[in-house]
Chains A and B, each alone.
Chain A
């Protein structure tokens, strides 16, 4: 038992737990049938991202990463949900099922394949660094990125697509806190600002589409294409 604790410190165990939960929320977004549930999962995913940054902050003894964790918490768990609720509340609270191109079981199967592919992609990169937490965060971050992209592609409605894009960014940052823990703070701040603008712009555009076209099933808009 003592051997176990020496090889797997409490910190690493917590980090592994956080990473596992992060991946679980990414799968959850593929499986969720309702918009509000997807949004809540995104908030949880952001909490795990912040937690991972915090744990890495302890490991590197870096105040910088605590700041990243704080910025993530403020923008992604408070401001973005607030912005989306302000701009498109009726879409978020509409209790209808999200239509999607593929059914949920086959979507989950594809998601598993994507997660395995993410490990496959990141394996050659892991050789360059001995950091245990990089080995944990990089593949799961890439998996989050790919699963978010999958959500955007199969969902036909606007708000789930927005949430998919935001979760892709979460995936990139989940890898980022581990591989680039000392990125200049100004870049972190600007990136957080950027994510806010994504939520604002896409929220407003969704509202305008709803007003003008009468539906937010953006997957069915196909007047522009090659003959």
Chain B
């Protein structure tokens, strides 16, 4: 039943948020709703980490370990971003437009609902619709600030991802075709894995390519990434945390689900496709990172890089690499959302997105500066943060399975991206301030969010709790065949 509640609560919260009245009502309802969702998702994850599936409605609404992992990530970032929104949205909207704040929270809840639905639904056709809805329900969150740049970003976002979705739709329909030729089974991820050996490889390959191109557009894989830095930098920072941290992860989840289905047909060489697309994304993003002039864009490009890393890890094939892929999904989602909270705090403090406009932040706004530094180190993959561990485990698995060229290229690109992220952040934090720019004290909710979001990325860099380890292991197993 937990899974049904997880779907009902955000819908309910969205409706309640629109009720006019006390100013704090909508944020409070959202915060409460996301907290309950987090508790239920936690319970689901604990349940599945024992190796059992969580089923609410067989073949329609259910969660295995991989789905529960994604669900937990969405719920956690949904909760922290809701806390961050509390102070942030009020500051950027101003006190004289309470209706706009209510609309923000209604959209926030609906967007969260669509993202939660992706791992929970098991019918592939419905998953496609849920992914399409994550775009459509977040468009007005991207354009929330109503500047010409935000509107441009929202337009590119919706046009490119909807084009991608149409291609993915054809892929999903071809999968269904293959299913119905091979005999009847439920059109679920598991049903497809079971039937995969009797589906014609030609159909599987066509479906895979259509879905890879279609959902790859939405996951920000190069060369279909052009909308991503725009949308992920123009949206309000808590929305960026959701978009970059978990929306991309949910889409990538749908792509990774194809892996066990396609492994039965070696002629497709799904691993090669993953490695080529993944390395291309990591490489191009690493070089584009160097020339970025806007620090939110910096983190957006780093998302493209990390999507590539996860894809390469999944393509490496060995079970250790697949463990690395699931671990990387976790560490990326947690670190990237933290980075955008830090970027949002910096934006509140200095009112500029330009890297060159921010110097010596450590003196003017120490909390934002420390957060930015931690975020930069964490996402670039410095020890002792979670991304460091997950990247090391991927590289180690790559070397162990003898794929030296792929692993070497991946390592080089990661190092380039490391420098590309940390040089500008170093200048922003420690540089010599020409004139003191802004000296604003951060609100309590921002500080709480930063502390709360920092805990897991530090903790998982030092040690992984046993239930999480078990969940990651089972999720990695479900990527294999």
The chain A residues found within 8 Å of chain B, CB to CB, are 121, 124-125, 127-129, 141-142, 145, 148-149, 152, 158, 161, 165, 168-169, 171-173, 175-176, 179-180, 182-184, 186-187, 190-191, 194, 197-198, 201-202, 204-205, 208-209, 212-213, 218, 221-224, 226-227
Complex-state Cα separation, A176 to B200, whole angstroms: 18
Whether, in the assembled complex, B18 has its beta carbon less than 8 Å from a beta carbon of chain A, the answer is no
Supposing A179-B177, A227-B291 touch, asked if A128 and B163 sit within 8 A by C-beta, the answer is: no
Please state if B167 and A187 are interface contacts (CB–CB under 8 Å): no
Supposing A165-B159, A213-B151 touch, asked if A128 and B139 sit within 8 A by C-beta, the answer is: no
Q: Which residues of A contact B180 (CB under 8 A)?
A: 180, 182
Please state if B151 and A152 are interface contacts (CB–CB under 8 Å): no
Please state if B155 and A127 are interface contacts (CB–CB under 8 Å): no
Complex-state Cα separation, A205 to B230, whole angstroms: 16
Supposing A125-B203, A128-B181, A149-B163 touch, asked if A179 and B143 sit within 8 A by C-beta, the answer is: no
A194 to chain B, nearest CB (A): 5
**Interchain Cβ contacts under 8 Å between A and B, 23 examples:** A121-B206, A142-B170, A149-B163, A149-B166, A165-B162, A171-B166, A172-B169, A176-B169, A176-B173, A180-B176, A184-B187, A187-B123, A197-B133, A201-B136, A205-B155, A208-B146, A212-B146, A213-B151, A218-B155, A221-B148, A224-B149, A224-B229, A227-B293
Please state if B166 and A169 are interface contacts (CB–CB under 8 Å): yes
* Chain B 326-342 residues near chain A, CB threshold 8 A: none
Complex-state Cα separation, A182 to B186, whole angstroms: 12
Identify A201's interface contact among B147, B158, B167, CB under 8 A.
B158
Complex-state Cα separation, A148 to B167, whole angstroms: 11
Please state if B162 and A198 are interface contacts (CB–CB under 8 Å): yes
Q: Which residue of A lies closest to B234 (CB)?
A: A224
Q: Which residues of B contact A222 (CB under 8 A)?
A: 152
B191 to chain A, nearest CB (A): 13
Complex-state Cα separation, A198 to B202, whole angstroms: 31
Q: Which residue of B lies closest to A214 (CB)?
A: B148
Q: Which residues of A contact B139 (CB under 8 A)?
A: 201, 205
A62 to chain B, nearest CB (A): 13
Complex-state Cα separation, A190 to B156, whole angstroms: 24
Beyond A124-B202, A141-B170, 4 extra complex contacts between A and B, CB < 8 Å? A128-B200, A142-B170, A165-B163, A182-B180
Classify the secondary structure of A's interface with B: helix
Q: Which residue of B lies closest to A200 (CB)?
A: B136
Complex-state Cα separation, A216 to B169, whole angstroms: 28
Q: Which residues of A contact B158 (CB under 8 A)?
A: 201-202, 205
* Chain B 112-157 residues near chain A, CB threshold 8 A: 123, 125-126, 129, 132-133, 136, 139-140, 143, 146-149, 151-156
Identify A205's interface contact among B133, B154, B200, B206, CB under 8 A.
B154
Whether, in the assembled complex, B174 has its beta carbon less than 8 Å from a beta carbon of chain A, the answer is yes
Supposing A201-B136, A205-B139 touch, asked if A148 and B166 sit within 8 A by C-beta, the answer is: yes
Complex-state Cα separation, A93 to B181, whole angstroms: 47
Whether, in the assembled complex, B288 has its beta carbon less than 8 Å from a beta carbon of chain A, the answer is yes
Identify B203's interface contact among A128, A142, A187, CB under 8 A.
A128
Q: Which residues of B contact A213 (CB under 8 A)?
A: 148, 151
Please state if B166 and A212 are interface contacts (CB–CB under 8 Å): no
Give 6 nearest A-B pairs by CB, closest first: A168-B166, A187-B125, A179-B177, A180-B176, A176-B173, A221-B152
Q: Which residue of B lies closest to A222 (CB)?
A: B152
Please state if B203 and A168 are interface contacts (CB–CB under 8 Å): no
B225 to chain A, nearest CB (A): 11
Q: Which residue of A lies closest to B301 (CB)?
A: A226
Supposing A141-B170, A145-B170, A175-B170 touch, asked if A184 and B123 sit within 8 A by C-beta, the answer is: yes
Please state if A152 and B155 are interface contacts (CB–CB under 8 Å): no
Identify B173's interface contact among A168, A179, A184, A226, CB under 8 A.
A179
Complex-state Cα separation, A179 to B125, whole angstroms: 14
* Chain B 206-256 residues near chain A, CB threshold 8 A: 206, 229-230, 234
